[in-house]
Amino acid sequence: MRAFIVLVQKEFLQIRRNSFLPKLIVVFPIMIMLLMPLIMTMDVRNVNVAVVDLDRSTTSHRIASHIEASEYLTLAQTTAEYSLSIEALEQGEVDVIVQIPANFERDMMIATPKRISITANAVNATKGGMGMQYIVQTIARTLSELRGEKSPSKLSELVTIENRYNSTLNYRHYMIPALMIILFILICGFLPALSIVGEKESGTIEQINVTPLSRLTFTLAKLLPYWIIGLFVVTVAMLVARLAYGLIPVGSVGAIYLGAILFIFTISGLSLTIANFSETMQQTMFVMFFFIMIFMLMSGLLTPIDSMPLWAQKFTTILPPRYYIEILRSVYLKGTSIVELWINFVALGIFAVIFNLLAAFTYKKQV
Amino acid sequence: MSDIVISVRDLTKCFGNFTAVDRISFDVRKGEIFGFLGANGAGKTTAMRMLCGLSYPTSGSGSVAGFDVMREGELIKRHIGYMSQRFSLYNDLTVWENMRLFAGIYGLSAKQTEERATELLNRLNFSSERNTLVGSLPLGWKQKLSFVIATIHRPEVVFLDEPTGGVDPVTRRQFWEMIYEAAEGGTTIFVTTHYMDEAEYCTRVSIMVDGEVRALDTPFRLKQQFAAESMDEVFRVLARGAKRGG
């Protein structure tokens, strides 16, 4: 026990004496939680639209003015020639072209009109797709308005829309839990590994290896400070989310902390295991990055797991962040209880035990 | 024979096809200062690491403080101190923090640590540097501190791997006084060195060439055997035939 206490003391002293670690631990969570939600947004704005108006009627004018008034769309040009706007599309000045055929208004009154054609630059698939959708919605609204002026029932009264749990469909509320996980991975994943490999590079680990200190004691003493730092980071992250973005967990904070503890155990255990197999900082960093890429891109942090191919969905069951992101999002947005999420907690618990035992047993004192 | 602290028979370590240590055998008695000499690359450090439980022997047998080097490495570690060739205390901790750390690891209580640290610091005339960061000490002081920390738990055997490399003659002299003092207290010293004047201070000396022990006796008798005037000459006669290192 005495050995454990002096070792933990040593780790804290070393972190405190490091010229930049303490700053990083405080500034990093605040920066990421404050700035990234503003930047990481999937909302498509500023879609530049060209309207090729061959009709020149009240209807076509109204469509154009609705496009202009839209929060997401910008009316970049109105021409009477398709070739002009295609040129603009090629030059990147325009993202979507809306062509309203001649006699559209007249035909609408008497018969089936020629179709309005929409051409989108889909190089940026998200922007093209979303821009297209916004335009279809805008046109549909215009047309139903026109129709509504002639018939008593309005379309907007026929359909009601409600987004449950993230009522404003705020993409930030979806991203903030993911950012918290990225923070854990960076701080509790990288720092313990670098600390161990640092001891290998400076040779101090040899002086430890020649003592009767048990592998488990050494490993736990190495990790404990980072667990505490991790809990500090989750607290800061939750505070920033609340103060800056008004995001308050609907469910219990206890569930978030329990998940955080299990997730931090897991990721730091993985980190030490990697360090045990590496001799240099470069090796460690490179292998850590490999895992982090997979964690970030495949665990449902940024894109929904449900839209992945089936084999990838199966693969995600062995990725620890997948379970914690589910806990975070459900607790934050839906208020799901620990009991309902038990399977996620159990999965994280199993990972935590496996990785930490692996870390303790892959640490070789004698080679 | 109960006073034999280290006993080694045909100890061998291979790395792939390379035999770093080739069937060495020797005994070290309690309280001896055993000089372990050899050119660079002769296999001294590898042999020492096997005795300290840092490295598994490929074959052969050995015991340190009564424990088997093959199977009881962790038990050996309770009874030995080790000072690596490379300075390996924590540079970002103070003198006292390093002492507290290693004393704690060896199971000394807070009170015992305080007593022992004060005693050792006084003996070194080092009490004023108690709260100095180790990284800012001059090399000679670092080496003395390493030795003191390697003996903080009063081990039966202390392994010193080139403890005086790069150290000035005055400090070297002081260092050897510390070694003598420890040996008089009954601690066995197992030391490697490249300084032949230091070899003269040892009770017995072994000289390794190309992974094998080529000579082993007291400095006096080795000089007789090789008809040499100094250990320096003895060493040169033996090392001349070395195929590797140098």
Residue A113's domain is classified under what CATH number?
A: 3.40.1710.10
A108 and A253 share a domain?
no
Q: Which residues of chain A fall below pLDDT 50?
A: 155, 158
A26 and A52 share a domain?
no
Please give the pLDDT value at position A152.
Answer: 52
A177 and A222 share a domain?
yes
A78 and A125 share a domain?
yes
Per CB-CB distance under 8 Å, the chain B contacts of A14 are 90, 92-93
Partner-chain residue, chosen from A2, A206, A366, that has the shortest CB–CB distance to B107: A2
User: Domain extents for chain B?
Assistant: 4-89+156-239
Split chain B (246 residues) into runs of 10 and give each run's mean pLDDT. Answer: 84 92 93 91 91 93 93 92 92 95 94 93 89 93 93 94 90 92 93 90 92 91 90 88 68
Among residues 170-189 of chain B, which lie with CB inside 8 Å of chain A?
A: none
Task: Look at B56 and A210 and tell me if their CB atoms are within 8 Å.
Answer: no
Please give the pLDDT value at position B1.
Answer: 46
Domain's final residue, options A148, A178, A206: A148
Give which of A264, A263, A238, A267 is closest to A327, Cα–Cα. Answer: A263
Domain's final residue, options A119, A148, A177: A148
Is A314 inside any structural domain?
Answer: yes
A65 and A15 share a domain?
no
Task: Look at B53 and A210 and tell me if their CB atoms are within 8 Å.
Answer: yes
Per CB-CB distance under 8 Å, the chain B contacts of A13 are 92-93, 97
Task: Look at B104 and A367 and tell me if their CB atoms are within 8 Å.
Answer: no
Among residues 175-204 of chain A, which lie with CB inside 8 Å of chain B?
A: 202-204
Give yes or no for a contact between B183 and B28, defined as CB atoms under 8 angstroms apart: no
Is A156 inside any structural domain?
Answer: no
Is A158 inside any structural domain?
Answer: no
A189 and A229 share a domain?
yes
Report the CATH number of the B4-89+156-239 domain. 3.40.50.300
Is A162 inside any structural domain?
Answer: no
Is A349 inside any structural domain?
Answer: yes
Per CB-CB distance under 8 Å, the chain A contacts of B102 are 207, 211
Task: Look at A5 and B104 and tell me if their CB atoms are within 8 Å.
Answer: yes
A245 and A180 share a domain?
yes
* Residue position matching structure tokens 């035992």: A357
A259 and A136 share a domain?
no
Please give the pLDDT value at position A339.
Answer: 87
Q: Compute the distance between CA of residue A97 and CA of residue A88 in angstroms, rounded to an integer.
A: 9
A35 and A6 share a domain?
yes
Distance from CA of B85 to the nearest CA of A (A): 10
Task: Look at A204 and B90 and tell me if their CB atoms are within 8 Å.
Answer: yes
Task: Report the domain count for chain A.
Answer: 2
At residue A337, what are phi and psi to the nearest 5 degrees? -90, 165
Q: Which two tokens stand for residue A65?
A: 């003015």
Domain limits for position A110: 47-148
Q: Compute the distance between CA of residue A195 and CA of residue A208 in angstroms, rounded to an integer.
A: 14
Task: Look at B77 and A210 and tell me if their CB atoms are within 8 Å.
Answer: yes
A262 and A242 share a domain?
yes
Per CB-CB distance under 8 Å, the chain B contacts of A203 are 84, 86-88
**Chain B CA closest to residue A204:** B88
Please give the pLDDT value at position A194.
Answer: 92
Task: Look at A3 and B77 and tell me if their CB atoms are within 8 Å.
Answer: no
**Chain A CA closest to residue B84:** A207
Is A118 inside any structural domain?
Answer: yes
Q: Compute the distance between CA of residue A270 and CA of residue A259 in angstroms, rounded to an integer.
A: 17
Per CB-CB distance under 8 Å, the chain A contacts of B78 are 212
B114 touches chain A (CB under 8 A): no
The structure's pTM equals: 0.81
Per CB-CB distance under 8 Å, the chain B contacts of A20 are none
Complex ipTM tops 0.95: no
Q: Which two tokens stand for residue A216?
A: 């488990």
A25 and A79 share a domain?
no
pLDDT, tens digit (0-9, with 9 covering 90-100), for A161-202: 566 666 555 677 888 889 999 999 989 999 999 999 999 999
Domain's final residue, options A115, A148, A181: A148
